[in-house]
């Protein structure tokens, strides 16, 4: 497993990073978030790419899915990470107007019935409501307003307000997107980092 612990206060933060290039701005964001969070919290970083996480739901996984089981031992470790945190941070690039496939596969394989939710009276009831803060940090070339108004707002509408909300993660949620990641200026990126740091100031 490729993750790091940084000891701090009682609140535990889990950062999930989904970017393949270790010199990317996404990795820089991760470093800045860790630097700020570790002042007051215990922080764990999961790098899905370095973990070589298999994002594909296999035939065997699908066969035992409704039992809340998995054939991937790494999934069990990730589930434990989610159970131990009360602060969740997602960091990823937006490709083709949505999160990378490896993060979608993380939800498919990790958010199992009985772990992330129960079905009661034909309704899904989330079980991860111990997570009291969710911060989604993304980068894109397209404008954030374009994502919201022209593409259907997939990050907030689908990921945050549906997938994660169904699992009980509804408290203190925020999406911060660094737009024009290729064509923007260094000043644009500096302003973005300032807004990110402000989010995590103790």
Q: What's 71's domain CATH number?
A: 3.40.50.360
> Rounded distance, CA 168 to CA 165, Å?
5
Q: Report the half-sphere exposure of 194 (CA within 13 A, side-chain side).
A: 6
pTM confidence score: 0.93
> Rounded distance, CA 202 to CA 191, Å?
19
Structure tokens at 120: 């009661």
Q: What is the pLDDT of residues 162-185, one digit of tens each?
A: 999 999 999 999 999 999 999 999
Domain coverage including residue 49: 3-200
Q: What is the pLDDT of residues 113-172, one digit of tens each?
A: 999 999 999 999 999 999 999 999 999 999 999 999 999 999 999 999 999 999 999 999
Question: Number of folded domains in the chain?
Answer: 1
């Amino acid at each position: 497993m490729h993750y790091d612990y940084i000891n701090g206060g009682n609140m535990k933060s889990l950062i999930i990073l989904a970017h393949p290039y270790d010199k990317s701005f996404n990795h820089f964001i991760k470093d800045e978030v860790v630097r700020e969070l570790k002042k007051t919290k215990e922080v764990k970083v999961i790098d899905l790419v370095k973990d070589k996480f298999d994002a594909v739901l296999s035939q065997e996984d699908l066969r035992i899915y409704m039992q809340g089981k998995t054939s991937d031992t790494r999934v069990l470790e990730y589930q434990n990470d989610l159970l131990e945190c009360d602060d969740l941070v997602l960091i990823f690039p937006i490709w083709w107007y949505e999160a990378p496939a490896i993060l979608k596969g993380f939800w498919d394989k990790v958010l199992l019935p009985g772990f992330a939710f129960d079905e009661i009276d034909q309704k899904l009831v989330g079980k991860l409501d111990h997570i009291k803060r969710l911060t989604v940090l993304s980068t894109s070339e397209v404008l954030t307003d374009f994502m919201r108004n022209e593409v259907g707002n997939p990050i907030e509408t689908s990921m945050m307000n549906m997938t994660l909300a169904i699992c009980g993660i509804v408290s203190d949620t925020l999406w911060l997107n660094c737009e024009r990641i290729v064509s923007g200026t260094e000043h644009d990126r500096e302003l973005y980092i300032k807004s990110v740091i402000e989010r995590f100031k103790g």
